[in-house]
Amino acid sequence: MSERSSLETYSRTAERAAKSVIDGYSTSFGTATALLGPSHRSHVRNVYALVRVADEIVDGLPSSAGVGPDEVGEMFEDFVAETYRALSRGVSTNLIIHAFARTARHTGIGSDLIEPFFAAMRSDLDAESPAGHPAAPEVRCLSAGEHADYVYGSAEVVGLMCLRIFLHDNPRDDTQLPTLECGARRLGAAFQNINFLRDLADDRDRLGRSYLTEDARLSTSARDAWILTIRDQLADAEAAIPLLPYDARLAVGAATALFAALIDTIAAAPVERLYRERIRIPGHVKARLLARSTLGTLRGRSS
């Protein structure tokens, strides 16, 4: 096997590994991503896989295997360092990092987006939490400024990474970019804030974190305020969708429809329920929403 074919085989294997991550962790995002064209689809999966693995490192995966806090920090910094080495070399023995590095190098995803993401993940490690120790009730609560910084690094830059993927072979003029970048950031923020609402109990009880309030428990009025904020974020994101390439319009429109339905379900639930269970959309409802969103995009294209 030639050196080139060896690298190509390895890279295809890395992309299959990245696909397995999104398939294993997110049915909604995975289904929406499947609507993308082949090139965009593989690149978005590669980004998702790196983001997911980094998130798992800081959210207790090593700890569940008996790894101590100091070693968890070392694991995370090793992961960060290997990512930057792969960006420089174009290859990594870590399949997920290799897949991401190929995407980043191809589409122009640089340290301006990568470093804020790692900084947000690092902040979860830097704050000692009572994970796994229910007798220790101390919860790390984010201020409004800390929340904004965290959401930018953990989610908005991921939206911007996806935008760079979509526009790499489909450039837009300078008059459209501000709307597209705003939409990408606002969609990332909306998705993250929705997940914060879905994960209230796990974040507080297992990880010792309160992302949406400076109190240890979210009140009904605070929940309702976040619902309004998220709906505004989704509306800003929807305004940018028509400017995206066609396959991205399909996928982003579908994902937005799913999360809009999810926020409606969360809004109708008592806050106490949010602390008992993770709100989900039934599979048959997801299928109907995806079909409706896809049909709407198809009609828009033909009109």
Q: Is 43 helix (H, G, I), strand (E, B) or coil?
A: helix
Class of the domain covering 3-302: mainly alpha
> Residue 9: how many CA atoms within 13 Å on its side-chain side?
6
Residue 3 pLDDT = 66
Q: Provide the 10 A C-beta neighbour count for residue 16.
A: 13
Spell out where 138-246 has E strands.
140-141, 209-210
Q: Provide the 10 A C-beta neighbour count for residue 235.
A: 13
Residue 145 pLDDT = 96
Contact 132, 206 (CB under 8 A): yes
Say how far apart CA 181 and CA 253 lie, in whole Å.
Answer: 16
Residue 132 pLDDT = 43
Q: What residues does 209 pair with on adjacent strands?
A: 140
Residue 136 pLDDT = 42
Residue 66 pLDDT = 93
Q: Provide the 10 A C-beta neighbour count for residue 6.
A: 10
Q: How many residues does the chain have?
A: 303
Q: What residues does 140 pair with on adjacent strands?
A: 209
Residue ranges of domains in the chain: 3-302
Burial class for 250, CB neighbours closer than 10 Å (0-12, 13-18, 19+): buried
Q: What residues does 141 pair with on adjacent strands?
A: 210
Q: Is 214 helix (H, G, I), strand (E, B) or coil?
A: coil
> Residue 110: how many CA atoms within 13 Å on its side-chain side?
2
Residue 133 pLDDT = 40
Say how far apart CA 15 and CA 258 lie, in whole Å.
Answer: 25
Residue 127 pLDDT = 67
**What distance lies between CA 94 and its chain's CA centroid?**
20
Say how far apart CA 85 and CA 106 lie, in whole Å.
Answer: 16
Residue 114 pLDDT = 99
pLDDT digit string (tens) for the chain, length 303 residues: 666 789 999 999 999 999 999 999 988 888 899 999 999 999 999 999 999 999 999 999 998 999 998 999 999 999 999 999 999 999 999 999 999 999 999 999 999 999 999 999 999 997 654 444 443 447 889 999 999 999 999 999 999 999 999 999 999 999 999 999 999 999 999 999 999 999 999 999 889 999 999 987 899 999 999 999 999 999 999 999 999 999 999 999 999 999 999 999 999 999 999 999 999 988 888 888 878 888 777 766 644
pTM for this structure? 0.92
> Residue 113: how many CA atoms within 13 Å on its side-chain side?
22
